[in-house]
Amino acid sequence: MAHRTTSSSLTAALWSIALPAMLTNVATALFGLADMWTIGQLADAAAQGGVELGAKAMMASLNLFNFLRTGTVALTARATGADDPYARTQTLVRASTVALTIGAVLLCTMPWLVPVELAALGANNGTQLHYAATIYLSIRFWAAPVWLMNCVLTGWLIGQRRVRSVLLVEVLTNLTHIALDLLLVLVLHHGVAGVAFATFLSETLKFTLLALFAIRSPAMTDILSMLHHTLRDKATWSRDAIARLFSLNRDLFLRTLLLSGAILTFARVGTVQGPTMLAANGILFQLFMLASLILDGFESAAQVLCGEALGRQERLGFTRSLRAAMLWGGALGLVLSLAYALGSGRLIATFSTDPLVVAQALTYAPWLIAVPLAGFASFVLDGAFVGAGWTRAMLGTMGIAMALYTALLLGLADIGNNGLWLAFVVFLMVRAAGQLTMLPVLLRRTFPLPSR
């Protein structure tokens, strides 16, 4: 049954999705934060930098395919809004097939892909940094197919507003992950390999729990009754259906490619400044990711509510949902900026026992204050654009922002790490400005008639 949201219940509907999504995302952020904190207790800048570099390389390999999550959320929400359980079943089948295919390709190309990624990130062969990153990747990479399936299952559950189920999985998985980090690194002294093994085992547990929740989902009754027919139905695998899937996912893939390029460029600039700066930027970037994942709760809410409104062809419901998500996203961005202004120094000091790393991170900590306010609008708008299927427009604005980001990196090279952070903040703001500029045209194109 479609979820219809009146104006009086809009805030409640928004928060019923956003709050569990925020908590889920915070739990997700704990993966990276726990790894950085645990390896930081060894007072080894090369090991901490290696984990940071290895994590960035994994991001390059896997986050390109995050469209499996965002695309599945959007398509599932539209099918739910249109009260079409068969389309919901087809979405899960198609996305799972794509995920398993990509996972198999990644594992086959791992021996060639890992060295290329590390070279692109500036990790010179023979250095301690390169050695640590290679150990990390040689273990964690094997979890790639599981990570991709987790994207599909998470997106499918969120698209049906089963956000609390996803939250419970994330909490259980992250508690396990933290325990494994502490055991393998600080008790059994496996160092970088221990961090990688902890992540591998945690991702496997996450898949198991998500699959169990999916099986227990009310929609699974529809799937089990339709699955055989869905697999044999030519419409499931028709050229038009596959083209629609890949049209959405192609744009999301290319958009994520550009975003990953921005993040990897950020990491490479830190790498060439030495392992101490790399480790310091790694701490700051993990704290940025924490803020962005909290704000992404409103992105998830915008995806679901705007996707449902599109499925019902309700322009008023779409614009009200987007306006509410922007308002609350901005308020939370302000709160996060104030929190970093008051407490980032004490927080950073807990992430490393190396005084040089802590000192470098504290020098550039003020940039953390600007990031939530600079980024909240682009995060919320991403959700609305994906929910509406405006992925080509989102890709275009990302391309413009990436071009300016690259130009700023070159033009601000003389001011070092401050130039890097300034370029990144401008990158976030330009993305939002481009999306807001295109929004009126896209609304007229998508909702040409008055809302019912």
What is the model's pLDDT at position 227? 57
User: What average pLDDT does the segment 250-271 reach?
Assistant: 73
What is the model's pLDDT at position 451? 47
User: What average pLDDT does the segment 85-93 reach?
Assistant: 79
CB 399 within 8 A of CB 435: no
What is the model's pLDDT at position 2? 44
**Bigger pLDDT: 117 or 438?**
438
User: Whole-angstrom Cα distance, residue 327 to residue 317?
Assistant: 15
**Bigger pLDDT: 177 or 29?**
177
Q: Mean pLDDT in the chain?
A: 83
User: What average pLDDT does the segment 235-258 reach?
Assistant: 64
What is the model's pLDDT at position 417? 80
Three-state SS for the chain is: CCCCCCHHHHHHHHHHHHHHHHHHHHHHHHHHHHHHHHHHCCCCHHHHHHHHHHHHHHHHHHHHHCHHHHHHHHHHHHHHHCCCHHHHHHHHHHHHHHHHHHHHHHHHHHHHHHHHHHHHCCCCCCCHHHHHHHHHHHHHHHHHHHHHHHHHHHHHHHCCCCHHHHHHHHHHHHHHHHHHHHHHHHHCCCHHHHHHHHHHHHHHHHHHHHHHHHHCCCHHHHHHHHHHHHHHCCCCCCHHHHHHHHHHHHHHHHHHHHHHHHHHHHHHHHHCCCHHHHHHHHHHHHHHHHHHHHHHHHHHHHHHHHHHHHHHCCHHHHHHHHHHHHHHHHHHHHHHHHHHHHHHHHHHHCCCCCHHHHHHHHHCCCHHHHHHHHHHHHHHHHHHHHHHCCHHHHHHHHHHHHHHHHHHHHHCHHHCHHHHHHHHHHHHHHHHHHHHHHHHHHHHHHCCCCCC
**To the nearest whole percent, how much of the chain has pLDDT over 90?**
29
What is the model's pLDDT at position 1? 43
User: Whole-angstrom Cα distance, residue 367 to residue 341?
Assistant: 10
**To the nearest whole percent, how much of the chain has pLDDT over 70?**
88
pLDDT digits (tens, 9 = 90+) for 323-347: 999 999 999 999 999 999 998 888 8
pTM score over 0.75: no
CB 391 within 8 A of CB 340: no
* Banded pLDDT at 245 (limits 50, 70, 90): low
CA 297 to chain centre: 11
User: Whole-angstrom Cα distance, residue 205 to residue 213?
Assistant: 13
What is the model's pLDDT at position 364? 87
User: Whole-angstrom Cα distance, residue 327 to residue 331?
Assistant: 6
What is the model's pLDDT at position 118? 82
pLDDT digits (tens, 9 = 90+) for 379-422: 999 989 988 889 889 889 989 998 998 898 888 877 778 888 89
